[in-house]
Structure 1
Amino acid sequence: MLTPVKDIGHDVKELVRIRKEHEDTIFKRRNIKPRIEFYTNSQYIKVYCADRQAYLNKNGPRCKCIEQEKHLNQSLRKVPKDEKLFNPRLINDEFTPQIMEWVSTEYKCAPCLRSSTKMIATSDFLFIFGGSNPNMSKNSKSALQDVHRFNILTRKWTKLNVDNIPASLICFSTCWNPNPSDTNLVGYIYGGAYDSEGIQMSNELYKFLIDSDGGISFEKVHVENKPSPRCGSAMIMNKTGKLYLIGGADEKGYLCDVWVLDMKMGKLSWKEIKHGCLLKGRYMHEVMLIYDKIFLIAGGDGDWSAPLDKIDVFDIKTQKFIQINTLSDENHGYPHPRQFLSAVIDGTDAYIIGGLAYIKSEQGPASSNMADTKIFSDIWKLSQIIIDGEIFYKWNKMSTSLKMALFFHASAITPEGCVYNFGGCIDAKFMYPSNKLQRFWINPPTLKQISMFKALSNNPSLIEQIQDLRQSLSMKLIRGH
């Protein structure tokens, strides 16, 4: 447990106060007294249990919160000190294009540790929807039914009070409306699981609206002829206002079906497209829309992960699946097949980030044992190139990578071309989620953005003095201050 505090020196009264503040109810019930070590140089306190190992050996899974803390502390020790991960007041004003960096935040307001979440990015804010944390003591298997907002300029988290939030916010699918209105950004959420084991799933469609002030609202969309309740599907909308839902997993197994919903119709009804292709069912994949073709990226089932040298593509015009051969990176070949990855789209370029793969043994199919899995930190770019008038798609491995290997995480790209990554699992047992935020720039930031962050770095008091500070209004507010 890491908590920012003042440099307390050797003030005995302050030590007593901190000790009482950090005593855990578990320790009280078990009559185990914590041992406190504090370091004035780093200005952080670490709380240890004197009988930690004995307690873990005796109680095992009943003490997941302590085991999780120990595992995360070991992982975080690997982070170099110069990353300045735990400085909540740090304003990152140095921009290195295409290099991943930690984003320092105000951790006391940050979302709890979670995976299986989704993230939406605007120029001013990031929005985190739901997710799962199997180690929470209360309703640990239920989806986290909350929305958190992150101010990109001030690095502050805010938990939003929102009505009508969907309850099935584990392994759900989401997408933007590419035709934004004048006042709101519009997006959609479909399906998902109510619990981390996927026992109960949803087939409901929700619409969310984000206004210019960072407010968000949800409303349930009433639709007829719904697909089966499912999780792990992928959804995307084209410019004609049609939603396409592909694949996922329901109570019967893994799916490869395609559904379409025309949002411009007066009476909304899902329609299944009979594509006639015998594709293997998959879930936890990503989709990207280029012109009139929907690319299915990665994903798979319990024994198989879709290869990335050949990509299945749904052609909207012909209503059929085709397969496209991609070109490899000259030095690194193709990305390893994987699931539980994240992806962002920038024009006709797609970036896939992290993920997990079940390694197939020589004796049989892939195994879900921890020893037979691999978690990735790499980032790959799939680009459209034209050679002799013919279109090809080529993989390039990025020079940067995640700060730590992740899967079941969320990624989103801002209109300015900055990719943010949040949360995810750091171990193959799905037990240790994260709430750390990372970013890298696809394109160099604008001079306006650099000047804004530099101004706040030199004048951090502006963050507290100007309550409504964000990128779209920052220059006006600072001039009028």
Structure 2
Amino acid sequence: AVRAGGWCRSRVAGSEGSSAGLCAGGCSGRDRGGDARRLSLLPLREADPTRKPSPPGCRWDSLLSNPPLRTTVLLPLSHQCGRRRPPEAPLPSLCAAGHRSPPARSGHRCVADNANLYVFGGYNPDYDESGGPENEDYPLFRELWRYNFATDTWHQMGTEGYMPRELASMSLVLHGNNLLVFGGTGIPFGESNGNDVHVCNVKYKRWALLSCRGKKPNRIYGQAMAIINGSLYVFGGTTGYIYSTDLHKLDLNTREWIQLKPNNMSCDMPEERYRHEIAHDGQRIYILGGGTSWTAYSLDKIHAYNLETNTWEEIATKPHEKVGFPAARRCHSCVQIKNDVFVCGGYNGEVILGDVWKLNLQTFQWVKLPAAMPEPVYFHCAAVTPAGCMYVHGGVVNIHENKRTGSLFKMWLVVPSLLELSWEKLLGYFPRLATLSRAQLLHLGLTQGLVERLK
């Protein structure tokens, strides 16, 4: 029997994220541009219908070239990088196929589809780790990376058009073949924030600036964002000096911004915050954690915005019967599968967290998964595939040394479908499958969908 929930380590070394506090200072100007025409905002692909969810288990898989972790691996590990290096070495690892991997970073964002993990932006104040003289945007990373699940390789994508310069603590969502990026900050933090929506079509590898009407949100970073019923919702964030409880909506059809004005009294509103996460069930938007530079908010009660009544509600969650509630946290990650929300890592103001929790949006019951992260981390990013596999990349792993990582881990949050298990076995037996042409792959009997994962 195959269980879900095993961490598997990927192959990278490094990560972005701001430090624990907020920074101020001056920054260079921002260039503008981009063509907003012919943007195709398509719905996300549906999850694999053959997949049947089940309770998560307790294993991570590592995809990194560092020395192996002292854990047993539930599912077969992908092949390791050809060159090993000490964990503290500053340079990015070279994999067996000769591909570079993203340097260590924090404050970046990632999304996933069936075939790839896309990692955008990031920050690392270590000059050597951030690429040294080769990184023109030091200490930021003005770059887009793609990790292909089938070939187990990283690729820095060459794109055209205007790539944003606000590269720390921006928001990122995937909409069809389009990456939508909003907000974020340059260096120094809070001095050159963004409030534009940039779109990158990953198929055609081109950036464009989305032309919008209405009053845009303030220039902020550390906000949370989600697409619900064809609209982009943005909540919270900071200018670098003040924190926000503003909730904005961008209709992706009319491309008009509006600020939502809830019917509640101000005392019923959630506290102002940044570096929180949000989840939704189509009717409510749930605010999970976050904080300010001096506090982190608890998860025993969460605020929810009701889309139908235009009101905020406070919902009491239910503790795990043995260990209670998750610790308060900010700068954590969150992914969602149907009505289950998974919260991972973060920082509570004192220690870096490495726990993984699940919250059901129907019962509001917390469950602590028996799958501690291989390394506690915050200011990292996480994404889940339509098939139910979570990938976690980068982040800050040492507060005192201000140390970041570029590790990539994965964990199945559901029992993999027969299709996914068979696909992983096939890739293990035929690692050079990706070198064949489309015609050869189709002739071998692969479906068009599986061929697309390789190309």
TM-score under structure 2 normalisation? 0.72
Once the two structures are superposed, residues 444-480 of structure 1 have per-residue CA deviations (whole angstroms, 9 ceiling, x without a partner) of 22223222322332233434456998996486699xx
Answer yes or no: is 1:378 the counterpart of 2:352: no
Matched, 1:79 2:69: yes
Distance 1:384 1:259 in 2: 23
Q: How do residues 253-292 of structure 1 correspond to structure 2 at under 5 angstroms?
A: 253-265=242-254, 268-275=256-263, 276-278=265-267, 279-292=270-283
In the alignment, is the contact (CA less than 8 A) between 1:404 and 1:426 conserved in 2?
yes
Equivalents in 2 of 1:420, 1:105: separation in Å?
21
Shift of 1:206: 1.5
Question: Is 1:188 equivalent to 2:180 in the alignment?
Answer: yes
- Judged with a 3 Å threshold, the aligned counterparts in structure 2 of structure 1 residues 106 and 342 are, in CA distance, closer, same or farther, namely farther
1:421 shift after superposition: 0.5
Paired residue secondary structure (1:338) = coil
Q: What amino acid is the match of 2:391?
A: Y
2:413 equivalent to 1:446: no
**Contact 2:343/2:357 (<8 A) preserved:** yes
In structure 2, the CA distance between the partners of 1:430 and 1:264, relative to structure 1 (3 Å rule), is farther
2:144 paired with 1:147: yes
What is the CA–CA distance in structure 2 between the aligned matches of 1:242 and 1:434, rounded to whole Å? 34
1:229 aligns with 2:224: no
SS at 2:297's partner residue? Answer: coil
Cα distance, 1:476–1:409 mapped onto 2, change above 3 Å: closer
* Residue matched to 1:396: 367
Give the structure, 1 or 2, with the largest relative contact order (CA under 8 Å, sep 6 or more): 2
Structure 1 residues without counterparts, runs of 5 or longer: 1-75, 91-103, 178-183, 359-372, 386-391
Counterpart-to-counterpart distance in 1, 2:201 and 2:78: 33
Structure 1 CA distance, aligned partners of 2:103 and 2:81? 16
In structure 2, the residue corresponding to 1:433 is in which secondary structure? strand
Q: Tell me, yes or no, if structure 1 residue 346 matches structure 2 residue 323.
A: no
Residue matched to 1:39 = none
| 1:309 and 1:325 in contact (8 A); partners too | yes
Which of the two has higher C-alpha Rg?
1
Aligned pair in 2 of structure 1 residues 316, 86: CA closer, same or farther (>3 Å)?
same
What do the CA deviations read for 1:158-201 (whole angstroms, capped 9, x no partner)?
11111222111210112244xxxxxx434421100012633321
Distance in 2, matches of 1:107 and 1:355, equals 33
Q: Give me the whole-angstrom Cα distance separating, in 2, the residues matched to 1:353 and 1:106.
A: 31
CA contact (8 A) 1:284 1:341 kept: yes
| C-alpha spacing 1:317/1:476, structure 2 compared with 1 (3 Å) | closer
1:312 aligns with 2:300: no
Contact 2:112 2:174 in 1 (8 A): no
User: Distance between the aligned counterparts of 2:379 and 2:450, measured in 1?
Assistant: 37
CA distance in 2, matches of 1:186, 1:280: 32
85, 88, 99: which one aligns with 2:81:
88
CA distance in 1, matches of 2:368, 2:96: 29
Task: Name the structure 2 match of 1:170.
Answer: 168
TM-score under structure 1 length normalisation? 0.68
Separation of aligned partners in 1, 2:96 and 2:209: 33
CA distance in 2, matches of 1:236, 1:472: 31
**2: CA distance between counterparts of 1:379 and 1:438?**
13
- Does the 8 Å CA contact 1:426/1:433 hold for their aligned counterparts? yes
Shift of 1:423: 0.8
Shift of 1:309: 0.4
Hey, what's the Cα distance between the residues in 2 that align with 1:175 and 1:145?
Answer: 17
CA distance in 2, matches of 1:155, 1:217: 24
Q: Any residues of structure 2 matched to 1:361-440 within 5 Å, and which?
A: 373-385=350-362, 392-429=363-400, 431-440=402-411
Which residues of 2 match residues 75-154 of structure 1 at below 5 A?
Answer: 79-80=69-70, 87-88=80-81, 108-136=99-127, 137-138=132-133, 142-154=139-151
CA change 1:429–1:171 in 2 (3 A) is farther
Query: Contact (CA 8 Å) 1:130, 1:170: kept in 2 or not?
Result: yes
Q: CA RMSD in A?
A: 3.0
Q: Percent identity?
A: 24
Q: Which amino acid aligns with 1:297?
A: L
Contact 2:341 2:361 in 1 (8 A): no
- The structure 2 residue matched to 1:218, chosen from 186, 198, 207, is 207
Q: Distance in 2 between matches of 1:409 and 1:170?
A: 11
Cα 1:437/1:105, change in 2 over 3 Å: farther
Q: Given the alignment, which residue of 151, 175, 193 partners 1:201?
A: 193
Aligned residues, how many? 360
**Partner deviation per Cα, 1:87-135 (whole Å, 9 max, x = no partner):** 2269xxxxxxxxxxxxx98674211111111111010111111111111
Q: Distance in 2 between matches of 1:255 and 1:207?
A: 24
Q: Determine if contact 1:351/1:379 at 8 Å carries over to the other structure.
A: yes
The answer to whether the Cα contact below 8 Å between 1:130 and 1:147 also exists between their aligned partners in 2 is: yes
Could you tell me whether the CA contact under 8 Å between 1:118 and 1:128 is conserved in 2?
yes
